[in-house]
Amino acid sequence: MESFATGDLLRLGLALALGLLIGLQRGWAMRGQADGSRFAGIRTYGLLGLAGGIAGLLQDRASVLAAVLLAATAALVVLGYWRSTRGNRSISGTASLSGLITLAAGYLAGSGGLALASALTGLTVLLLSQRARLHHALRHIDAAEMAAIARFALLALVILPLLPDSPMGPFGAWRPRQLWLVVVLVSGFSFAGYAGVRLLGPARGVLATAAAGAMVSSTAVTASLGGKLREAMDDPARSGGAAVLLGGAVALLNGAVALASAVMFVRVMLLCAVLAPFALPGFVRIALPGMLVSLIGTVLLLRRADSKPESRPAELAVRNPFELKPALLLVILTMALTVAAQWVLARYGDAGLATVLAIAGTVDVDSAVITMGNLPPGTLDARLAALVLAVPVALNTLFKSATLLGLAGRKGMGGLLTLLASLVAMGAGVLLV
């Protein structure tokens, strides 16, 4: 009984603390307003959280009383909003909605959902604290950017969940939802890169997006950057009517390609350590030289970008916030490769294991590592497993090189040379296994 009572007190204490946290933010945000003009203060928000916590605690013991307490508290919040906005030209529902969310967070804490209540409160405080930045961003969004947001929402939030995830097509190789996820990833990286440039500045935005995106798919990042390289053109009016390449912008984007390649090596080594640790020592000897070469290429390309005063990073124009063509190209290639992988598996069975892993990992290296980790123990020895994993990584690097060349042409030469150099470094690493 004592431990049960202690648990009740902890729930109520958390509900009160969450309410006070939201109240602290609201009190700070409204600190300039006159006394008595505010909808609620820090104490009121704390009591709202506590009231929700009491209701959550009573839901299993006195459900009617809990419902009455919730309804009465919510009615007081609505009444307070009505009183504070009556005759006031400046109408905002933020305070009342914050009060209702505080009540809900307290209820979750009181009913045992401590983690969810804490997460809800943290997100609420974060959103409330971003008022100035959000309003600033809203004032600077143009029609093209708003249209891009709507299109991406259509792709990711409407079309993707509706697509079936069952095998279709030749050999059952195509899963529409997984294929469309490639479209969402590539177009999402394109849009995130655009937003990163707007928020962080050209250089830091592109590099941050490339590094973060490569933790999911360096292939998708390379395709997105290839599309941006195709757009990295100077203003024709400044070059006698002929579009010329911005050297600094091109070097920056190529440096981002090289950085994505380096992050890919790190990601695959970490995944191997978790899923196939027996292959890790040998695989590290192969992958580490490629990673180092990619990092060296990144540094050299970024230094080249900084040495172009005639094309400062601020002049990098990411004109299209929503690039769909690289995504569709990658989907077509993925469809062809998955059919090839299934054909090899059906034709040669387990004897074609390395071939299947290589083909399947050409677009998605993680799939090869995951397959390796699911093999029965002893199927491959450590050295052979490391060599088998190196094949899809090498083919993936070649695939990214071909994608970059096809999308960007000579503009992607810096990134292309870095990718090929990392491939040669991997070949040297094979000799160490």
Same domain, 369 and 251: yes
Same domain, 104 and 161: no
Which of the four pLDDT bands, split at 50, 70 and 90, describes residue 242?
very low
Is 144 in contact with 321 (CB distance < 8 Å)? Answer: yes
Residue 163 within any structural domain of the chain: yes
* 262/174: higher pLDDT: 262
Residue 97 within any structural domain of the chain: yes
Same domain, 120 and 236: no
Same domain, 179 and 298: yes
pLDDT attached to residue 317: 44
Residue 87 within any structural domain of the chain: no
| Average pLDDT for 239-259 | 66
pLDDT attached to residue 313: 42
pLDDT attached to residue 367: 67
Residue 399 within any structural domain of the chain: yes
Residue 328 within any structural domain of the chain: yes
* 277/239: higher pLDDT: 277
Same domain, 121 and 261: no
Same domain, 18 and 113: yes
Give 256's contacts (C-beta < 8 A, 6+ positions apart): 206, 207, 209, 210, 221, 225, 415
Residue 113 within any structural domain of the chain: yes
Least confident span in 34-48, 80-94, 378-392: 80-94
Average pLDDT, the chain: 76
Same domain, 254 and 219: yes
Residue 343 within any structural domain of the chain: yes
| Average pLDDT for 205-212 | 76
| pLDDT tens-digit map of 330-371 | 677 667 766 766 676 667 655 566 666 666 666 667 667 766
Domains in the chain, number: 2
Is 39 in contact with 95 (CB distance < 8 Å)? Answer: yes
Same domain, 98 and 170: no
**pTM attached to this predicted model:** 0.55
% of the chain at pLDDT higher than 70: 69
Whether residue 111 has pLDDT greater than 80: yes
Same domain, 209 and 285: yes
The count of other CB atoms within 10 Å of the CB of residue 92 is 12
Residue range(s) defining the domain that contains residue 246: 141-430
Same domain, 68 and 196: no
Separation of alpha carbons 256 and 45, rounded Å:
46
pLDDT attached to residue 318: 47
Same domain, 375 and 326: yes
| pLDDT tens-digit map of 15-74 | 899 989 988 888 887 766 665 556 667 888 888 889 999 998 888 888 888 888 888 888
pLDDT attached to residue 92: 59
Same domain, 370 and 277: yes
Residue 88 within any structural domain of the chain: no
Whether residue 131 has pLDDT greater than 70: yes
